[in-house]
Structure 1
C-alpha cells in the first residue's frame, strides 16, 4: 500500500479511537427529529374565553418525562382559577395531532428566570441536559420553539446560529418584594453568565431549548423577555440579539424541586 494511503487510514483510525465507542454524532435533521417531540407549548385554557387557549411560551420535557422546563416569566402572570382558567401544555403526540395536558408549578428559580411544571398523562420523550458546561464562544447551536406565539401556527420551528458571546447579567425581579439577599448578592458579585446568540428568536421562543449540534444535548433555555429587557434597556429599538440561560441552573432546579 502506498505510504500516502496508509497515512490516511492511520489518521482515520486515530480519529475513530479518539472519538470513543460511546459517542454518536448526529446531523442537524436527525437532532431536530429527536428534539421536536419533547418541545411543548405552555399556556392557559379557559372554556369561556375566545379563543379558549392562549399561548404564553415554550417548554420542553426533562427528568421523568412528566416535568416540563420553561422560563418563570412564561407562567408568572396571574391565572383566573375562579373563572375556570387553567395552566396547560400542548404536546405533539403523533404527526400533527396535538394533545392538551393539565400542568402545575412544582419549582421556581426567580433569580435565573426558570420554572418546572409537572404535567398530567403519560411521559413525554425527554431531552438530555449537557453536564460538561464547556460552552464556548463561536460554538454552533440551534433552538426549537414557537416564535411569535400562535400567529405562525403551533408547529415547532428551529433556528441555527452560534454563541456570539458569554456575558454577565442580573435578571431583574418583577417587583421590589422579590428582591432578597440572594439577588442583591448576585448583583454585587457580577451576577451570572448568559449566552448571547446571533440567531433571532421571538417572545414565543421563551423557555425553549438551546442545544449543541454534536449530540443534541440542551445547553440553555431561550429567554426573550427578562434578559433582553435588561441587556437592551438603553436601546430605543429592539435588536435581533437573542439570549439564553445556561442549563446548569436548570439542573440545579431539577435537583431541588423535581418531586412527584
Structure 2
C-alpha cells in the first residue's frame, strides 16, 4: 500500500511593526533553523525634528539673536558723514557773511573800559558856603587795590574828590602822590568794587608815528566816551595857555579829546595803556579839540606811583 506524502508545517508569524506583514521563511524538513537577521541601525532624528521636539528652546534662541542684532545696531549709531574741504570753506564763509566782528578799536576799548573812572573835584563857592563842582576829568586804575592815575589839574585845590567806577560804584578818594612836572596825581579810592580790574600798561619804546591809538574818558562829563586816531609824533613839548606849566617828552595824537578827557588813558589796539591824556592844543579861547592832543608817556606815569620802569 502506498505511503501518504509528508509535508512540512507552515511557518509561524513573527510580530513586527504595526501594519507590516510578518516575514515568512522556509525551513527544510529535518534541518536546523537559520540565524535571526540583525536589527536595522538607529537613524538620528533630523534637525527639524529636534526643534519640533523642543519648541521653547528654539524661540529662546531666536529672541537672543534678535536682541544681539538690535544691540549691535544701537551701539554703532548713525554713520558720521565725512566733511570735505568744501564743506569747511562753505561753513566759514557763511559765518563771515552772517556775523559782524568787532573792530580793533572796539576790542581795545572794551579791554580797558572796566579800569576807567570818572573823577570830580569839589570845593566851596567864592560867595556862599555851598559845595560846587570845580572840575571833571578821567582816571585809570593801575593797581586793583584802588590806585588811580589822573591829571593834577583835575583835582588840584579840591576840598573833596569823588571817583565813579565802571560798575557805578561812587566813592571819595584821597591824593597820595603828585608829579607836578608831568601834571600827574595819584589817587587812592576809599571804597572799591569786588571785581576791580587794573588796566594793562605798555612801554612806549616801540611806539611809532602812525600807530593806531584810542582815547577813553569823560569829555564835558559825558561818558565813558571813546575816540580813535593815530600817534602823530613823539617827544613833543607843550606850554599851557596861561604859561604856568610846560610839559615835555609828550605823545602827540589826533584822537579827539576835550575838557573832561584829562587824566584818561591813551591805549593801543591791544587795549594797553601807553599814556595819560593831559592837554589839547588850541590857540583860541574855545578850549575845544582841533586835532592835536598830548599824553604823558606811561613810563613817567608809573614812576609817579613808584612802579618799576619797564
TM-score w.r.t. structure 1 length?
0.66
Counterpart CA distance in 1 for 2:242 and 2:273 is: 27
Counterpart in 2 of 1:134?
206
Counterpart CA distance in 2 for 1:168 and 1:145 is: 22
Deviations 1:179-224 (A, max 9, x none): 9xxxxxxx8xxx73211112221011000000111x2110001112
Show structure 1 runs of 5+ residues with no match.
Answer: 1-25, 180-186
1:30 Cα offset (Å): 2.7
* Counterpart selection for 1:202 from 258, 261, 268: 258
Counterpart in 2 of 1:224?
279
* Counterpart selection for 2:237 from 164, 169, 180: 169
The Cα RMSD (Å) is 3.1
Q: Higher strand share goes to which structure?
A: 1
Show structure 2 runs of 5+ residues with no match.
Answer: 1-102
CA 168–104 in structure 1, closer or farther in 2 if over 3 Å, else same: same
Q: How many residues align?
A: 198
Greater C-alpha Rg: 2
Deviations 1:93-135 (A, max 9, x none): 1xxxx22111000111111111110001235211011135221
1:175 Cα offset (Å): 8.5
SS at match of 1:255: coil
* Counterpart selection for 2:161 from 80, 87, 105: 87
Counterpart in 2 of 1:248?
299
1:55 Cα offset (Å): 4.8
Q: How does 1:1-260 map to 2 (within 5 A)?
A: 27-44=104-121, 49=130, 55-76=135-156, 78-79=157-158, 81=159, 86-93=160-167, 98-122=168-192, 124-131=196-203, 133-149=205-221, 152=222, 155-169=223-237, 192-213=248-269, 215-224=270-279, 228=281, 239-255=290-306
Deviations 1:42-64 (A, max 9, x none): 113579858x7665200010123
